[in-house]
Amino acid sequence: MYKFDYLIVGSGLFGATFAYKAKQANKKCLVIDKRDHIGGNIYCENRHGINVHKYGAHIFHTSNKKVWDFVNGIVEFNRYTNSPIANYKGQLFNLPFNMNTFYQMWGVTTPAEAIDKINTQRKEMLDKISLSETKEPANLEEQAISLIGVDLYEKLIKGYTEKQWGRKCTELPSFIIKRLPVRFVYDNNYFSDKYQGIPIGGYNKLIEGLLKDVEVITNTDFFENREYWEQIAEKIVFTGKIDEFYNYQFGKLEYRTVYFEEEELDCSNYQGNAVVNYTDKDIPYTRVIEHKHFEMFGEDVDRCKKTIISKEYSIEWNENLEPYYPINDFKNNELHQKYKSLSDKESRVIFGGRLAEYKYYDMAPIIEKVLNMDID
């Protein structure tokens, strides 16, 4: 006889949503997490009334009304719209690439002028590398220039991307940037989804709502007492690294990771925006997050006389760091497929989330995936 129906390893968004749905199905769950808090990477720390995104900026966005209604049924979301700014050597540009960006870069004011400028630069690139119109770009650099031209690539893509991935753009696969938003309208909204926002009161409110009345134990590492945890529940939901689950028997998967330098400042408004990307390669960090702008708008910004910023640095991952971004190149995808072939044979273990599936996820698709699962 098992004590629980499900042992859920990890209290991030996948694990918490699964626990919520299992609870609705009258299943008894235990959630364990090796960190000293719940919520995984969407955990927030409140200081001076500001919810600091401790593991990087998270903006919820979706076009799925079922998902939007679900999360708002747990906690109400605000009206935050993601409109980042790019800083290149002191010059400021709107993101994503839209008519505001094109005007700031070239002084053009109509879509026809912007398209003509991009097409001219694209043709020059094709001629330079002797690439035919029908041949697929060989790397990220060629893909980016074909989408937005040389000037935007050189100033707003190249330095940022090489800092982010620690590799030259000519060494990165083209698919990384294929979904780059390029719009010939004056619209600084980064996402095209119908719904977006931040939970009022921070993401902790969402996780706490999902895990309400569910037993949770923090500061608990599954692998330190694996034999015990594997015997406590009929089934296991595992959200950690899939290669670690299988004792790295085929080798270790690779990741990029980030670390943050936080500063508490005695001013009410440091940069006027939640997210500013620094695209110059000589600036070591990739972006600066000013957390209060996720939830404070208008006069509320100035009422809070403190502000907190995080400078974000992208580095190579090692065992002492938190894995963030799977490196989905050929070598790692091939290695992951070996582990997935083992996981597909499991009858008691469900693998879910970015580490268990070795796949980058936005938040909404994680919730959508769990909502569509059959929990028996």
Least confident span in 140-154, 228-242, 245-259? 140-154
pLDDT band, residue 4 (cuts 50/70/90): very high
Span 276-306, pLDDT tens digits = 999 999 999 999 999 999 999 999 999 999 9
Position 67 in a domain: yes
For residue 181, is the peptide bond before it cis, meaning its omega torsion is within 30 degrees of 0?
no
Is the domain of 109 the same as that of 167? yes
Residue 113 located in a structural domain? yes
The mean pLDDT value for 7-36 works out to: 98
70 and 155 share one domain: no
- How confident is the model over 79-103, as a mean pLDDT? 97
Cα–Cα distance measured from residue 210 to residue 17, given in angstroms and rounded to the nearest whole number: 6
Q: What strand order describes the sheet that includes 275-278?
A: 91-94, 85-88, 275-278, 287-290, 307-316, 255-265, 325-326
Judge whether 220 lies within some domain.
yes
Residue 117 lies in a domain: yes
Picking from 177, 210, 228, the residue at the C-terminal end of a domain is 177
Residues 97 and 222 reside in one and the same domain? no
Measure the N-to-C terminal CA separation of the chain; round to a whole number of Å.
17
CATH number where 361 lies: 3.40.50.720
Rounded CA gap, 350 and 161, in Å? 34
Question: Residue 177 — φ and ψ, nearest 5°?
Answer: -115, 10
- Among left, alpha and beta (phi > 0; psi -120 to 50; other), residue 202 is left
Are 43 and 118 found together in one domain?
Answer: no
| Bridge pairing between strands 50-53 and 44-47 | antiparallel
Both 99 and 169 in one domain: the answer is: yes
Domain of residue 212 covers 4-78+194-251+326-371
Residue 58: CB partners within 8 Å, gap ≥ 6? Answer: 41, 42, 198, 203, 363
Q: Residue 98: inside a domain, yes or no?
A: yes
End residue of a domain, out of 145, 177, 209: 177
Asked if residue 129 has pLDDT above 80, the reply is no
Report which of 152, 74, 163 is spatially closest to residue 106, judged by C-alpha positions.
Answer: 152
Are 33 and 11 spatial neighbours (Cβ–Cβ below 8 Å)? yes
Looking at the chain, the whole-number percentage of residues with pLDDT higher than 70 is: 98
Catalytic residues: 179, 183, 256, 287, 312, 360, 362
What's the pLDDT at 231? 96
Q: Locate 82 and state its tokens.
A: 């993601």
What digits encode the pLDDT tens for the residues 135-178?
A: 678 889 988 988 888 999 999 999 999 999 888 999 888 888 87
Taking each helix axis from N to C end, the angle separating 111-129 and 140-152, rounded to the nearest 10 degrees, works out to: 130
Query: Does one domain contain both 159 and 91?
Result: yes
308 pLDDT band, cuts 50/70/90, is very high
Residue 63 lies in a domain: yes
Task: Say how far apart CA 305 and CA 174 lie, in whole Å.
Answer: 44
The pLDDT value recorded for residue 196 is: 98
The amino acid that residue 142 corresponds to is E
* Cα→Cα distances 159→113, 131, 181, 289, 354, Å: 26, 24, 18, 18, 26
Count the neighbouring beta carbons within 10 Å of the beta carbon of residue 218.
Answer: 13
Whether the per-residue pLDDT at 206 is higher than 90: the answer is yes
In angstroms, the CA 110 to CA 91 distance is: 21
pLDDT of residue 205 exceeding 70, the answer is: yes
The answer to whether position 309 is within a domain reads no
CB distance 41 to 11 below 8 Å? no
Tally of domains within the chain: 2
Residues 14 and 37 in one domain: yes
Does one domain contain both 64 and 202?
yes
- Residue-level pLDDT at 131: 54
Whether residue 308 is contained in a domain is answered as no
The structure tokens 């089934």 sit at: 235
Residues 245 and 144 in one domain: no
The predicted pLDDT at position 302 comes to 94
Residue 247: the pLDDT is: 97
Same domain, residue pair 35 and 113 = no
Domain termination site, one of 177, 206, 224: 177
